[in-house]
Amino acid sequence: MNRFTGFLLASLAAVPAEAAESLLRIAMTAADTPTATGMPNNGFEGMRFLGYPVFEGLVLWDLTRTDRLAGLRPGLAERWEQAPDDKRVWIFHLRQGVAFHDGTPFDADAVIWNLDRYFKPDAKQYEPPAAGITRARAPLVESYRKIDDRTVAITTAVPASYFPYMAVYILFTSPASFEKAGRDWARVGTLPAAGTGPFRITRVAPREAVDLARHDGYWDPARRAKLDRVRLMPIPEANARIAALRAGQVDWIEAPAPDGIPSLRQAGFAITTGSYPHIWPWFYNIGAPNSPFRDVRVRQALNYCIDRDALVGFLNGTAEPSVGWLKKDDPNFGAPQHRYGLDPAKGRALLKEAGYGPGRPLAFPVMVSTSGSGQMQPLPMNEFLQESLKQNCEVNVTFNVVEWQVLLTAGRSAPDAPALQGALALNVSSPSSDVSVMARYFSSANLSPKGFNFAQWKDEAFDDRLRTLSESTDPREIAAATRAAHERLVDNPPWLYVVHDLNPRAMSPRVKGFVSPQSWFVDLTLVSLQ
């Protein structure tokens, strides 16, 4: 009996004693439980399940609708605005009457304490792993200060009209949790730590499960959870997740294997899919010494060498072709000169211009993961791309296969860092939800390891358009600049654009009230079990 099977049997044995309570069991794609200190690792799957349900930000996502991209709503700050005399300064007015799960107050001192945790390396509470994640997601934070007990100001490095979309990723943990654990963040993660969210952590068992319970003292009575408890279980292998669902060992699985979806639907399980702001690409490593991707013709060529439609068929329709960072029907897609699709002749011609061909084939290694948040079915999908590039354009690709968290760490590394193992591309799925994400991934001010611009991509026209939309308050000017910026992402591509995920999940028919928003995240407070 392996460890996973033994744990599932133990979970089943516990069910009768828990029958009086509603317990939702979720199978994640992660290979391990996300860290539980208040800034979870394991990418946005960590944020989805062990971030926002437990720990909150000054700004939160509105995840109650399916008909449009998820917007923002007030969170631990009831309102915010730019300072009238300096567009770099954002003033946040904190919500009254909020306490952490341990009963300690949420106030301006707690905000500053947590900001020091992320942005002040000499602070006693500085947490390097959490700081790396937060700095990469909110790279514009320059300074901050307490105005009074209910008001804080955060200053950005440059004016940024989209900064609230970065603030949404800064989560807050009770300072008392750190003190209770002897000022040891490793121990904080097993206490468990206290947040302010609608759920609280009750048990952390690394590699096995994290248990959450409804927080009946949640500050927003209208948003208190319907479920009594939630169990988060890492099951990285897609077929193992399906087997667990069929056996009644879990109620909800992320990313079911596409070929298993028809039989799950036939068996009465609910399958949810929906468009959301997500892309599954390869990041080109442009900055590595002697990288072939320094030549834009090589980057363009690969975008003509892959059969996206065939890959969508291979995925049983759970994705759609990607020909840019945004979907082609997005109003901000623009009118780029390049319209990517399978065109081997054009791909080969561009490679030939760049000096590659039968006598000197293009060859490079790609770092890929075995599973992970938004990674869909990474191994078979990457093998499909490997064969597509070989057949269509005689490009030879090899793989460095690692765990998801290892790949995420590599994505925040310098282009020649040992952590990359010589990889000249990374397969990291990523959001495309708003301009703040565009700035994080593509602004030349956010080159890794400072930010998420792993590709080390620099485009003056893009930076100019980003500056315009950052400083402007005119919606028409912002929209025009966004379209022009995206055109540069297509014509001077920093990535190989592959597919947009349709976010499939499979659930027991007992799961009710689930809303599949146009977002990476979900609102667990809406869910119940029957």
User: Where does residue 513 fall: left (phi above 0), alpha (psi -120 to 50 degrees), or beta otherwise?
Assistant: left
Whole-number Cα distances in Å, 323 to 80, 123, 338, 350, 428:
36, 44, 9, 17, 16
**End-to-end CA gap in the chain:** 32
Closest Cα to residue 138, out of 124, 121, 119?
A: 119
Report d(CA 249, CA 15) in Å as an integer: 10
Which residues have C-beta within 8 Å of that of residue 84, sequence separation ≥ 6? none
| Cβ atoms 470, 159 nearer than 8 A | yes
The string of pLDDT tens digits covering residues 104-115 is: 999 999 999 999
Task: Kindly tell me if the per-residue pLDDT of 312 is higher than 60.
Answer: yes
* pLDDT recorded at residue 449: 87
pLDDT band at 53 (very low <50, low <70, confident <90, very high): very high
Per-residue confidence band for 9, with pLDDT thresholds at 50, 70 and 90: very low
The closest of 438, 389, 40 to 201, measured between CA atoms, is: 40
Q: How confident is the model at residue 14 (pLDDT cuts 50, 70, 90)?
A: very low
Residue-range domains of the chain with CATH: 1-11+22-39+197-275+503-530 (3.40.190.10), 55-180 (3.90.76.10), 278-501 (3.10.105.10)
The two structure tokens encoding residue 42: 């394991």
CA–CA distances in Å: residue 67 to residues 43, 464, 476: 25, 32, 23
**How much is the pLDDT for 450?**
79
* Overall average pLDDT of the 136-159 stretch: 96
Question: Rounded to an integer, what is the distance from CA 272 to the centroid of its chain?
Answer: 19
Give the pLDDT mean for 52-68: 95
Question: In the structure, what pLDDT confidence band is assigned to residue 473 with cuts at 50, 70 and 90?
Answer: confident
Distance, in Å, from the CA atom of 271 to the CA atom of 505, rounded to the nearest integer, reads 6
How many C-beta atoms lie closer than 10 Å to residue 150's C-beta?
Answer: 15
Distance CA 302, CA 497 (A): 9
pLDDT band for position 487 (cuts 50, 70, 90): very high
Going by DSSP bridges, is the β-strand pair 252-254/23-28 parallel, antiparallel, or unpaired?
A: parallel
pLDDT tens digits for range 234-278: 999 999 999 999 999 999 999 999 999 999 999 999 999 988 899
Q: How far is CA 274 from CA 11, 151, 501, 520, in A?
A: 31, 38, 9, 11
Which tokens in the block code for residue 98? 């909020």
